[in-house]
């Protein structure tokens, strides 16, 4: 039994788990150029907000190794162009542009192209390592918040394979297993792309966590029939006021949690917060192609003239969120004040530690 990893860097090559092929085939693919990374992200071979950010960082750093110029001005122009291209692969998860911006920032601190090439790879590795640490911390805070609750529902896959390791929403379950705490997890299948049915079930089985699959439409009945005690989800972007974008269907669960009087937790690293936006209305929601709904495994299940609306994410208003679990601690309402205070406070603490 072990926690699966989706991103591997061996010092030279970037290898990722092809999440399209799960759970029946476990295939790792090499991403050698920016266009491979773009394609892997847009087709959801690599998916989940932190994993998208980490892979994009490696992708940009790898591409930059091939720039044939000794001029820093030309180097930076190429880097910005490629960062913009990659940053447009998926619009909702802010971790993508957050990671690319980090690379653009570090590179502005060096004077030569050879130093720039090196620092880009180093920064991608740091982003990767930091995410693993963040997710472990989220798991620990999540475990303490869940206390003696064991029956928990989740949606999509906010797990180890959506991050560097452990995951966000799934981190308490992986860590709980290591520490001998048994959870009973109920995974919503997550139409239309079945991240719950294909990925979460597989991932939790890999680490020996008890997991039961349900369809999204069974959530309300399951909460009452099985005595679900809490719901925990990941996030793709969290606004300053706590409004949270996550996989389509998350909002339904938040409303159900409110109606049934059970806690609804969001788990995410600080790289998922977008403090430049005040509320969820400003979060761009990705709309994907109609075939994801009209077809299953390439087979049509609807008439060819069917009109389709296929938003990949929804926004849960902060008022439905009991607490947000980050790597720095647990944030409670009123989010408007507490998010900024906690993130700023920890930045201050990090600065003090450095001094
Ligand atoms: C730790 S991953 C958090 C979110 O990115 C996850 O819950 C999610 O919505 C993923 O959507 P996806 O479209 O599969 O990339």
Give the model's pLDDT for residue 346: 57
Whole-number percent of the chain with pLDDT over 70:
97
Give the model's pLDDT for residue 44: 98
pTM of the predicted model, to two decimals?
0.95
If one compares 347 and 273, the residue with the highest pLDDT of the two is 273
Q: Hey, which of 6, 49, 172 would you mutate to test ligand 1's pocket, going by the most ligand atoms within 8 Å of its Cβ?
A: 49
Residue 4: partners with Cβ closer than 8 Å, 6 or more residues away: 17, 160, 161, 202, 203, 206, 207
Averaged over 261-287, what is the pLDDT?
97
**Displacement of CA 75 from its chain's centroid (Å):** 30
Averaged over 162-175, what is the pLDDT?
98
Q: How far apart are CA 166 and CA 184, in angstroms?
A: 17
Q: How far is the CA of 169 from the centre of ligand 1 (A)?
A: 10
Residue ranges of the chain assigned to CATH 1.20.120.420: 7-132
Q: How far is the CA of 144 from the centre of ligand 1 (A)?
A: 23
**Closest ligand 1 atom to the C-alpha of 135?**
1
Give the model's pLDDT for residue 24: 97
pLDDT bucket at 154, cuts 50 / 70 / 90: very high
Total Cβ atoms within 10 A of residue 258: 14
pLDDT one-digit tens code per residue, 101-138: 999 999 999 999 999 999 999 999 999 999 999 999 99
pLDDT one-digit tens code per residue, 190-227: 999 999 999 999 999 999 999 999 999 999 999 999 99
**Residue 335: phi, psi to the nearest 5?**
-65, -35
Give the model's pLDDT for residue 353: 52
Give the model's pLDDT for residue 345: 64
To the nearest whole number, what is the mean pLDDT of the chain? 96
Residue ranges of the chain assigned to CATH 3.40.50.10470: 147-354
- The binding-site residues of ligand 1, defined as CB within 6 angstroms of any ligand atom, are 44, 47-50, 93, 156, 158, 162-163, 167-168, 195, 234-236, 246-247, 312
Interface confidence (ipTM) of the complex:
0.99
Query: What CATH fold (topology level) applies to the domain 147-354?
Result: Rossmann fold (3.40.50)
Give the model's pLDDT for residue 227: 98
Q: Hey, which of 3, 95, 173, 247 would you mutate to test ligand 1's pocket, going by the most ligand atoms within 8 Å of its Cβ?
A: 247
Give the model's pLDDT for residue 347: 47
Say yes or no: domain 7-132 is CATH 1.20.120.790: no
pLDDT one-digit tens code per residue, 88-106: 999 999 999 999 999 999 9
Q: How far apart are CA 58 and CA 34, in angstroms?
A: 9
Catalytic (active-site) positions: 236
Q: How far is the CA of 158 from the centre of ligand 1 (A)?
A: 6
């Amino acid at each position: 039994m072990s926690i699966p990893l989706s991103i591997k860097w061996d010092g030279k090559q970037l290898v990722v788990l092809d999440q399209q092929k799960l759970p029946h085939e476990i295939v790792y693919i090499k991403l050698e150029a920016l266009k491979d990374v773009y394609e892997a992200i847009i087709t959801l071979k690599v998916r989940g907000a932190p994993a998208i950010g980490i892979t994009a960082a490696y992708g940009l750093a790898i591409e930059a190794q091939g720039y044939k110029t000794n001029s820093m001005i030309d180097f930076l122009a190429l880097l910005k162009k490629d960062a913009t291209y990659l940053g447009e692969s998926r619009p909702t998860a802010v971790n993508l542009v957050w990671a690319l911006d980090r690379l653009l920032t570090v590179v502005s601190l060096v004077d030569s192209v050879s130093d720039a090439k090196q620092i880009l790879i180093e920064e991608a590795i740091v982003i990767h390592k930091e995410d693993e640490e963040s997710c472990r911390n989220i798991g620990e805070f999540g475990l303490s918040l869940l206390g003696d609750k064991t029956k928990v529902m989740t949606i999509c896959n906010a797990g180890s394979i959506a991050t560097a390791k452990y995951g966000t929403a799934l981190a308490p379950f992986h860590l709980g297993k290591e520490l001998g705490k048994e959870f009973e997890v109920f995974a919503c299948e997550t139409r239309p792309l079945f991240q719950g049915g294909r990925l979460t079930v597989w991932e939790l089985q890999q680490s020996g966590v008890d997991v039961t699959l349900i369809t999204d439409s069974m959530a309300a009945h399951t909460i009452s029939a099985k005595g679900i005690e809490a719901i925990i989800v990941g996030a793709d972007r969290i606004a300053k006021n706590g409004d949270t974008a996550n996989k389509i269907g998350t909002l339904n669960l938040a409303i159900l949690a409110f109606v049934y009087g059970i806690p609804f937790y969001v788990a995410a690293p600080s790289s998922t917060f977008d403090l430049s936006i005040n509320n969820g209305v400003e979060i761009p929601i990705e709309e994907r192609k109609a075939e994801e709904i009209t077809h299953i495994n390439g087979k049509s299940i609807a008439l060819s003239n069917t009109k389709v609306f296929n938003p990949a994410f929804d926004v849960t208003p902060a008022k439905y969120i009991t607490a947000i679990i980050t790597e720095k601690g647990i944030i409670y309402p009123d989010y408007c004040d507490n998010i900024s205070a906690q993130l700023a406070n920890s930045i201050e603490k990090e600065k003090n530690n450095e001094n």
